[in-house]
A and B are shown apart, each in its own frame.
Chain A
C-alpha cells in the first residue's frame, strides 16, 4: 500500500515544484522520523545548484588532469618496459591512500580549497587509467603491428594510428571507472573547503538533515551515471569498426 502513496506524493511535486518560499520552519522538518520532506525539497531545491556545478567542475578537472598524466605515463612505460613495475607501484600507493587523508597531507603544501581537491582526486585516478591503458596497448595483436610495419608505417604512426585506436575500449573503460569513483569521492571535498555536493550532506560540524543528504546523494549518483553515459557514447563514436563488426 505504501508504493501508490509514495507515487502520489511524487506526482504532487510535478505541478508548481518551485513554490514561493515561506518563512520559518516547515512542519515536516520538526519530525525526526520523517525520511523525506517534500515541502522542504520544494522550497530549497535551488540551493543545490551551485554545489552541483562546483562538484561537476572538481570531477571534470580532476579526471582531465589525471587522464593527461596517466596517459603520458602509459606512453612512457609502453616504450620503456622497465618503467612499468615502478610506475604501477607508485600509482598504486597514490590509489591506496584514502582521499580524505591525502587532502590533509597536501594541506601544508597547497592549502585549503579546490586546487588541493583536484590534485588529490587526480592522483587517485592515475592507477586505474594507467593500468587500463597499458593493458589496452598490450592487447593489440602483434600481427596487426606487423602488418602496419609492412605497410611502411613508422613506430610513431603505428602508436597513434593503430595501437591507440585499438586500445580505445580499454582506455575508456578505465576512464569510466575513474570518473564514476571520483564523482562519489568528491563529496569528501567538503572537508578541505572545496565546496561541492558534500556541503549539502555535512555542513559545519554537524550532519545536514536527511532530506538534504538524500537530494545531494541522488544528484551525485545521477551525475556519475551521466558521466558514464557520455563516456560510453565517446567510446562508440571513436570505435565505429566495433559496431560494424557486431552488426
Chain B
C-alpha cells in the first residue's frame, strides 16, 4: 500500500487534468488542460495520423501490389521495409522542422515517409504468397491483369497487407506524438511542454496517447476482419 499509494495518486491527478482545467505555474493564472483541450489535441493527432496513413497508402499500396504481381523489385521492396525501420523518428521530425519548416503539411509528409515502407513491403510479400494456381485459374477465366490483382491477389493477400497497414499506423500515431516539435499541436504537447502542464498533464498526455493508439489498432483489426473474405477465415480457422 505504501508503495502503491503515490503511484495511484499520480494517476488520480492525471485523470483530473483530463476532465477539469488546472491552474498552471507559468501561464499567469490561465488554466490549462481539461476535457476541451484534451479532445482538441486528440482530434488533431487523429487528423494528422489519418492524413499521413492515407497518403502512405495511396503511394505504397499500388507500388507494392504492382511489384508483387509482376514479381519484380524484390530487393527494393524488402530492402525498403528494412531500411524504413532504421529511420530515427525524432531526427526525422526535428530535421523537417529545422530545414523544411513547421506545419501540418510538412508533418503529414514526414509521417507518411514512416508509413510507406511497411505497407509497400507487406503488399509485395502478400501478393507473392498467393498460390500461383489461383492466378492461373483467374487468367484462364479471362480476367485482365488488373482484375487479377483486384479480385484475386488483393483479397487473398489482405491479412498480410493489413499487417503492413497496422504497422504503419502504429509508427505514425506514435511519431505524431512528437509533432508539436514541428508546430502541430497533438497530445504530445502535454508531454513535451511539461513546464506548462506539470506532471499531471504529462501523465494525462501519456494515458490519452496510449488509448488513442490502442483504439486505432482495435479499429484496424476490426477492419481487417471485415475485409478478409469468408473463405480465408475458414482456412485459417
Contact = CB atoms under 8 A, between A and B. Distances in A.
Interface of A: 35, 92-93, 95-105, 107-109, 177, 180-181, 183-185, 187-188, 190-191, 197-198, 201-202, 205, 207-210, 213-214, 216-217, 220-221, 224-225, 228
A100 B203 contact: no
A210 B191 contact: no
A184 B85 contact: yes
Interface stretch (B18-26, B59-67, B136-144, B209-217): B209-217
Interface residues of B, number: 39
A81 to B, nearest CB: 13
13 contacts: A101-B205, A101-B209, A103-B206, A104-B203, A107-B10, A107-B199, A181-B85, A187-B88, A187-B89, A197-B88, A207-B98, A216-B91, A221-B86
Top 10 closest pairs, chain A to chain B, by CB: A217-B91, A98-B174, A104-B206, A101-B209, A108-B10, A224-B86, A187-B90, A101-B206, A220-B88, A187-B88
B11 interface: yes
Taking chain A's interface residues, is the majority helix, strand, or loop, or is none over half, making it mixed?
helix
Interface centre among A99, A100, A224 (most CB of B within 10 A): A100
Taking chain B's interface residues, is the majority helix, strand, or loop, or is none over half, making it mixed?
helix
Contacts of B87: 184, 221
Given A180-B86, A184-B86, A105 B91 contact: no
Contact of B217 (A96, A191, A210): A96
Contact of B210 (A102, A109, A205): A102
Interface in B201-231: 202-203, 205-207, 209-210, 213-214, 217
Given A97-B214, A188-B89, A109 B98 contact: no
B91 A201 contact: yes
Nearest to A197: B88
Contacts of B98: 207, 209-210, 213
Given A99-B174, A100-B191, A207 B213 contact: no
A117 B170 CA distance: 19
A155 to B, nearest CB: 26
Contact of A213 (B89, B91, B202, B209): B91
A210 B99 contact: yes
B75 interface: no
B202 A100 contact: no
Contacts of A188: 89-90, 178
B174 A100 contact: yes
B174 A207 contact: no
Contacts of A201: 88, 90-91, 94
B95 interface: yes
Interface centre among B170, B173, B203, B206 (most CB of A within 10 A): B206
B27 to A, nearest CB: 16
A184 B89 contact: yes
B210 A105 contact: yes
A216 B174 CA distance: 20
